[in-house]
A and B are shown apart, each in its own frame.
Chain A
Amino acid sequence: MTPAEGASPALAFDAVSRHFALPGGAAYPAIEGVSFAVGLGEFLAIVGPTGCGKSTILSLAAGLLRPTSGRILTFSAPLEKINRHAAYLFQQDVLLPWKTALENVMLGPLLHRWPPGRARDEARRWLSRVGLSGFESRFPHQLSGGMRKRVALAQSLIVGPAILLMDEPFSALDAQTRELMENDLLRLWQEDRKTIVFVTHDLEEAIALSDRVLVLAAGPATRVIGAHPVDLPRPRDVTEVRLHPGFRHIYQTIWAQLRGEVLRAYAAQGRVSATEGGA
């Protein structure tokens, strides 16, 4: 699926740069002149070597960070505060440990001042949509890593965001749990076609899930060096789609581009750890 031509994109980066102040006072350019647009209902994956500023891009899109220069538009409006159209699925565990699964999912609705009864009913419905009926009163530490991710997914989606920003959400999960989660994500996405920006360092995951893969250069001063459409049939199963003849072809095309960047990133990392003892 490609975004409708001419329709205003859900999210657009226009020559966005972001620098961070280093302890010495120098500026570290995390990303430099990044431009891309995500169409309404598009599943966009962003891949790049480690430390290339993928998370920075998501934080900018979420409005948690301000760009040093350039413009970010969401539904044609400049983004000035927190992106109210977006939900963010973080890489780390961010469920509130003192709230039960149900209370965690209810948090967004309550913050949006829904009536508590409605918030509770919707939260139950969402927990069952992510396959966690019966786990409502468990605390996060009583759930497995995969279950916590499901709660987090329900927590992000319940308030009906137009855009879902995902930062390597499944990277900490074991391989089987991860495939289950990926398929569930595809199923949920198929149902209401949100706009998704999915950041990962795993190229296979990126291709299996997305409509289009953006490739980032190695940091610092990361920019977009390629955009590759993924024209594999939908609905997909992440395990089966890997056996599709088109999959290998797309993989090889993107990997040819990504490989050099990964090597550059490793080389840079080696230099850094030799001089500073780790980045």
Chain B
Amino acid sequence: MSKGRYRLLPYQTGLLVTLVGAWQVTTQRGWVDPFFFSTPSAIGTRVAEWFVQGSIYRHLWTTTLETVLAFLTGAGLGVVFGFAFARSPILSGIFDPYLKIANALPRVVLAPIFTLWFGLGILSKVAFGVTLVFFIVFFNTYQGIREVETGLLNNARMLGATERDLVRHVLLPSAMVWILSSLHTSVGLALVGAVVGEYLGSGRGLGYIIAQAEGTFDTTGVFAGMTVLAAFTLVVDLLVTLVERRLLAWKPAAAHAERA
């Protein structure tokens, strides 16, 4: 599989070089207006400036902090509620329609309200990210606990497990499989929450940089912001893959690939 991936590497690089090259040439020759499309060399220079002058780091830090806090809070709440609902049919019965409504609501509309409630600082972005992450983790925890095989539970009971032991040794690990399999989505959404929140109103972060550049018709700044954001997302995704590989080491390879 990985052999095939490397086999395609020259073509992938070729595609990138061609596209960026065409962009560079057409904007440089004036065939396409660089005011609207900027040029790859200007974007590269801008990104390099940000890192050399160090102005980008506090924005990266803010976005990272918001992402991490949104993920941890959202995932924590999702696990607690998912667990409680899976174990209590009455609770899930009462809340079911409201959860469905809340989940169906496009969460972006909440961002302005959170800005009103929590201000322009990181708190409003964390709150926004939480509403995105919570439902993913909640539904996966719920499912993971509901779908535990009765055989595993009965076996643990026969081996002497109390109800609390069952939670620790069977139910939570079983839910972890589901939660981890959705880790890429939930971490990605935490990042989306942070950036969108910053974009809509803030004083710091990658979303803020993009919004600022856009406000002054600085297309180079917008593209440079997008470039940094894309690279940042790739790094986050890579970290998630590493965590996942470590925590799901016990899974057979085929099933693992299926979930990824």
Contact = CB atoms under 8 A, between A and B. Distances in A.
Interface of A: 62, 64, 82, 84, 86-88, 90, 92-94, 96-100, 107-108, 111-112, 139-142, 155-156, 159
A107 B250 contact: no
Interface stretch (B14-22, B72-80, B81-89, B157-165): B157-165
B41 interface: no
B169 A82 contact: no
Interface of B: 149, 151-152, 154-162, 165, 169-170, 173, 176-177, 249-252
A108 B159 CA distance: 5
Contacts, number: 63
Given A96-B169, A96-B173, A112 B160 contact: yes
Contact of A107 (B151, B162, B169): B169
B220 to A, nearest CB: 49
B252 to A, nearest CB: 4
B151 A92 contact: yes
A100 B251 CA distance: 11
12 contacts: A64-B157, A86-B158, A94-B154, A96-B169, A96-B170, A97-B251, A107-B156, A107-B169, A111-B156, A111-B161, A139-B249, A139-B250
B160 A108 contact: yes
Given A86-B158, A96-B152, A98-B177, 19 more contacts: A62-B154, A62-B158, A84-B160, A88-B155, A88-B158, A92-B149, A94-B151, A96-B169, A96-B170, A96-B173, A97-B250, A98-B176, A107-B159, A107-B169, A108-B159, A111-B169, A142-B252, A159-B159, A159-B160
Query: Which of A98, A140, A141 is packed against the most chain B CB atoms within 10 Å?
Result: A98
B157 A94 contact: no
A64 B157 CA distance: 9
B154 A90 contact: yes
